[in-house]
């Protein structure tokens, strides 16, 4: 993934996850509150209907009370009571019904086909033996029973709440009921309102999330453009720095060739020409001039070897890193008149990758150059060791010290930056500490797993 895609993903994915969690919580909470509201509404309506049914039954009892309470238990009084109850109705589907203790229907004004039938084993749409349940409720004294029954006005089987009582002496069950379509309609309306509320909330959350995603994408795009520009500027600065380093290296080699080897070669040329004239003239100093020219030629060869060694030490290719650092330390000690303590703890058969060996050699070379120019030190120590996973290089001196932060931030101080960049390029660790009387540098580079 590109950087801008990672930035957008890191911004969008947590936002979408949070929106999804919020939506889930809203759905669960609204559904729970909706069910609580449904239960409250249903309980309130059923409570009202229970009171209404009790009033209806009390009214019916008052109508037949003279026949029932007067002690008349003959068939004529019972038939008069059934006739009186059949005439009482309320609303479109309000009526009374009467059953005996064995489940036989004695009176049903809206469903005459049921009169006289034994309905003890008849079940409703839910599998409930309705008449048995009604008789059980009446006998227990509760009186209320909910079941499904065919509604006369519509012909559809609908939930119904009935209230029944037992007529002592006659062995009758008298009752009436109210159909619960209004309860179902009210609960269905509440559930629909809850669903509409959830939908509206989801739309609002989705809109907010979409706006937030667009803002994140816009911010990510802006940041990506800014990072691209910053990266381009850094790349241009790095390219310019590489060019400057190349020019500085070319200038250094050019100066050394011009001021060193070129002057020696010109001097050797003059010395050979002088020897040739002296020998041609038979003078006595021709051989001496020839010997001096030969000695200067040896000096020129040594200078060429030194320049070649600075560019790429031959010992690094032939004998390895420890020998190359040893030679570098010896030349530094001889050139600067400083005491160098070099400790090589690498195993004799240790094989370092070429990039690691070159990097460590250049780091030592850069460190010694900085010590020579700035440290004013008397002793330098170099430690090289390795285990199975990494190679460690430590370079220290007893010089005047410096502030590492200020040095690395200085425009001209590229030595330490070069060391740090070499180490970071190879995936290693670089640490630097400095105070008056002690400066230490530690480099740890990983080794490939064999």
Rounded mean pLDDT of the chain? 85
- pLDDT at residue 274, as a whole number: 81
- Is pLDDT at 359 greater than 70 in this prediction? yes
Structural domain includes residue 416? yes
- Is pLDDT at 132 greater than 80 in this prediction? yes
Q: How far is CA 446 from the centre of its chain?
A: 30
One domain, residues 180 and 325: no
Structural domain includes residue 255? no
pLDDT band at 9 (very low <50, low <70, confident <90, very high): confident
Instruction: Flag the least confident range among 21-30, 79-88, 412-421, 425-434.
Output: 412-421
- Within 13 Å and on the Cβ side, how many CA atoms surround 35? 5
Structural domain includes residue 211? no
One domain, residues 20 and 169: yes
Structural domain includes residue 312? no
The CATH number for 16's domain is: 3.30.450.20
Q: Tell me the residue range of the domain where 128 lies.
A: 3-185
Q: Which of 127, 159, 185 is the last residue of a domain?
A: 185
Structural domain includes residue 233? no
User: What pLDDT digit, counting tens, does each position of 165-200 carry?
Assistant: 998 888 899 999 999 888 888 888 888 888 888 888
The CATH number for 425's domain is: 3.30.565.10
- pLDDT at residue 72, as a whole number: 55
Structural domain includes residue 219? no
Alpha-carbon distance of 30 to 386, in angstroms, equals: 66
Structural domain includes residue 25? yes
User: What pLDDT digit, counting tens, does each position of 400-444 carry?
Assistant: 988 877 766 655 555 787 888 889 888 899 999 988 889 999 999
Structural domain includes residue 406? yes
One domain, residues 36 and 181: yes
Please count the structural domains in the chain: 2
- pLDDT at residue 413, as a whole number: 54
- pLDDT at residue 296, as a whole number: 81
Q: Which of 162, 185, 208 is the last residue of a domain?
A: 185
Alpha-carbon distance of 132 to 141, in angstroms, equals: 14
Q: Which of 185, 205, 238 is the last residue of a domain?
A: 185
- pLDDT at residue 349, as a whole number: 63
């Amino acid at each position: 993934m590109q950087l801008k895609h990672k930035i957008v993903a890191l911004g969008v994915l947590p936002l979408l996850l949070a929106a999804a969690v919020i939506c889930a919580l809203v759905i669960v909470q609204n559904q729970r509150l909706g069910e609580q509201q449904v239960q409250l509404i249903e309980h309130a309506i059923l409570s009202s209907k229970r009171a209404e049914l009790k009033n209806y039954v009390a009214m019916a009892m008052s109508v037949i009370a003279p026949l029932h309470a007067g002690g008349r238990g003959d068939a004529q009084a019972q038939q008069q009571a059934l006739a009186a109850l059949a005439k009482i109705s309320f609303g479109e589907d309000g009526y009374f019904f009467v059953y005996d203790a064995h489940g036989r229907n004695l009176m049903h004004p809206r469903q005459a086909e049921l009169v006289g039938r034994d309905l003890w084993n008849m079940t409703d749409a839910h599998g409930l033996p309705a008449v048995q349940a009604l008789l059980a409720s009446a006998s227990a004294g509760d009186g209320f029973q909910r079941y499904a029954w065919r509604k006369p006005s519509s012909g559809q089987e609908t939930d119904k709440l009935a209230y029944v009582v037992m007529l002592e002496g006659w062995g009758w069950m008298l009752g009436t009921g109210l159909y619960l379509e209004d309860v179902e309609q009210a609960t269905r309306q509440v559930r629909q309102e809850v669903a509409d509320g959830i939908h509206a909330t989801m739309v609002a959350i989705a809109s907010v999330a979409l706006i937030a995603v667009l803002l994140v994408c816009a911010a990510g795009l802006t940041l990506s453009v800014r990072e691209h520009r910053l990266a381009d500027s850094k790349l241009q600065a790095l390219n310019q720095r590489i060019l400057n380093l190349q020019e500085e290296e070319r200038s250094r080699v050019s100066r050394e060739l011009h001021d060193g080897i070129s002057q020696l070669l010109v001097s050797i040329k003059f010395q050979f020409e002088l020897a040739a004239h002296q020998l041609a003239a038979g003078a006595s100093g021709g051989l001496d001039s020839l010997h001096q020219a030969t000695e200067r030629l040896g000096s020129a060869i040594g200078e060429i070897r030194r320049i070649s060694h600075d560019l790429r030490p031959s010992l690094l290719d032939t004998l390895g890193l420890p020998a190359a650092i040893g030679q570098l330390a010896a030349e530094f000690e001889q050139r600067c008149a400083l005491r160098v303590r070099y400790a090589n703890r690498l195993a004799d058969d240790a094989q370092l990758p070429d990039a690691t060996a070159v990097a460590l050699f250049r780091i030592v070379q850069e460190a010694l150059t900085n010590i020579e120019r700035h440290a004013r030190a008397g002793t330098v120590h170099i430690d090289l060791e390795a285990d199975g996973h990494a190679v460690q290089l430590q370079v220290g001196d007893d010089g005047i010290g410096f502030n590492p932060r200020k040095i690395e931030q200085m425009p001209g101080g590229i030595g330490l930056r070069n060391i740090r960049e070499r180490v970071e390029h190879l995936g290693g660790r670089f640490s630097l500490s400095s105070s008056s009387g002690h400066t230490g540098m530690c480099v740890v580079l990983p080794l490939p797993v064999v």
